[in-house]
Structure 1
Amino acid sequence: MSLFLSLLVSISMAQEIRLRLLHHQKSIPVLAENIQLSEGTAQALTITYSEPQKKWLVLNQKNNGLSTEAAKTLELKAENAIIHGRKLSGKFKLVWNEKNKSIDLIYPMDIDKYLLGVLPAEMPASWPLEALKAQAVASRSYVLAQMQGQTHRHFDVDSSVMDQVFNKKKFEVLPANLKEKIRAAILQTQKEVLFKGNRVYKTYFHARCGGHTENPKLVWNDSWSWNGKKDPYCDLGNAQNWAYSISIDSLAQAYADDTNENIGTITKIVAGKKTNSGRSDHIFLFFEDGRIRKWSSQNLRKSIGFSNIKSTLFNIVLNKETVSFRGKGFGHGVGLCQFGSRQMASLGKKHSEILEFYYPDAQLRSVFQWPAFLAKLQEKTLQVK
């Protein structure tokens, strides 16, 4: 028996992913008929963490203390609960984030149930099935790569664009035929994962590459690195082009908020050296007092808004009181281009061909003993040949 196969039959214990649904919260309201805690049950709770006391403070609807827990993690269980406006059932964890001095809500989930909330949030369910299947493999591989590489964290993936969007309402409101299409995309690729050697592939993806994908190392100084490539499939229509203007004062404030450095008035803005794909990985800000600062284009996008500065494939026009960014594409440009995958699927390409185009050095493999695979992954003992 090969090392790969022996790995997959070695453990039978089921595993779940740890999804962070909320973060940077000062308190968590919980409403349900029967909320189970270590010291009793309740119907409505507000949960906070007292840093001076190093304890959780659990208050019922009358603000009477129900229980306190002297631990960084508080576990609870409820059915049909509304937690901070989200309808959830099962077990939950609240974790005190020492670094941010706030509460994170962690929700353990089966990976395929998780994908039901990811797929329609990341790609329209009306798109071709083969594109949805490629997205399913990319999303599955991404979360497994996060589990493999960041076991020190108290969660595997965030539910926002910081990892990949999870929104189960997107699935719940779909008509029956599109629900079945999403299920089919997941089930028909159920055990498929992308690898590079003995590691699960870090399958970044984005909306539109603008005609050329990017190397992840140039975007995040990532340990993963592969060359960007021209993408003839990306839709180059007018929807690709975008423009956004912001006052110079607001841009200076955004820089100050991001760097904790308030220098003053910006007099000039210059895009840094372009990558092979035409993207600017940083910009230079020139200030009135003569100082010059280099600012990461990804931090610029995060500070001003990913939906405003849609990509780093831009040019800059400085006016008297405003600065305009004019670009094309949507997203960081790394890995799978979703609009490109739609076009490939429309041309009759299979999901495996789409994945091979956008992740050319990855190997698509089927993992038959799923719990064993996840257990080894979390133990960081995965070896695949």
Structure 2
Amino acid sequence: MFEAFVTMCILAAAVPDAPPRETCRVALLPGFGAETKAGCEQALHSVTRRPGNWAEKAPFCAPRPKSVLSFSEAAPGVFLHRGRVAEPDAENGGDVSNFGFVVGSRSIAVIDSGGARKLGEEIYLAIRERSRLPISNLILTHMHPDHVFGAEALREAGAVVLGQADLPRALADRVEDYRASYARRLGETAFLGSRIIAPDRTAAQQEAIDLGGRVLELRTWPTAHTSTDLTIYDPTSGILFAGDLLFDTHMPALDGSLRGWLAVLSEMKGLGARKVVPGHGGPLLDWPQAAEPLERYLRVLESDTKKALDDGLALGDASETVGQSESARWSLFDLLNPQNATAAYTEMEWDP
């Protein structure tokens, strides 16, 4: 099999105040795969230059490479990738969250797309190593950049991108901050070609996607981890894709509502799942037992914040004390707990 590729280049300074130099990477162009090089080149005749803050050289066709990503088959037709439990950086290329895909008899759905376009390209290659079925859907579990920056490559592969109703606005409000932050963290070369795209459509509060002999049940939620949370349940395998409504090992990040999150976790237990894929850690855990560490942490966050408020602590002082009993239980605790304490304090400070 042959695939299409393009060389993307950007001018970037090697060091501050130095003349800019061209930095490039070869990017996959999904959607032009063919059995022969000639077939791939014929398909490339329809390519037009895509706007971006980078230059693209003439596309070309080459044999399809193997994906650099590892996927485990958690159940027949359910493939999972475990991201690093780390902050995104040049070494991990933004591969710091979990994603996966589910194969039906007619098509394939992808859940989340990683923190850079290159990861979306690698997901495509990993799928093509296992199946020739069309990629019909990319489902984004929420707005955070480590889950959405690979989406454009999968849309080019044919996927309809969808997410919760508030996702388009949330991404639009944050697109510049997310892009600047990830370009700095990953480096311009690793991040080259990455951009946030709006979903093609938004999901109903509850809806089903039929992949052929396999129906995925989507559910959107009130504000919890974020204001854009969505879960995907596969009754065939009993596996629930929880996105960042569930963390394992990796310190939870509160970007929504503390009390809303606790309420949503309680309701998620009634979905009928036996196994769950968290947004970080895992990647496959028993459900609902897997919720216990997160619920414990959120309860500690709630009780410590209430005590800090009752004691009259200012926000700065509270952020240094709230949740500290959990410090040994989570990776990245020192980085994320102060942010969580601040969010909890802000949510609870006007309680009667």
TM-score (norm 2): 0.27
Q: Which has the higher contact order (CA 8 A, sep 6+)?
A: 1
TM-score (norm 1): 0.25
Higher share in helix: 2
Q: Determine which structure has more spread, i.e. the larger CA radius of gyration.
A: 1
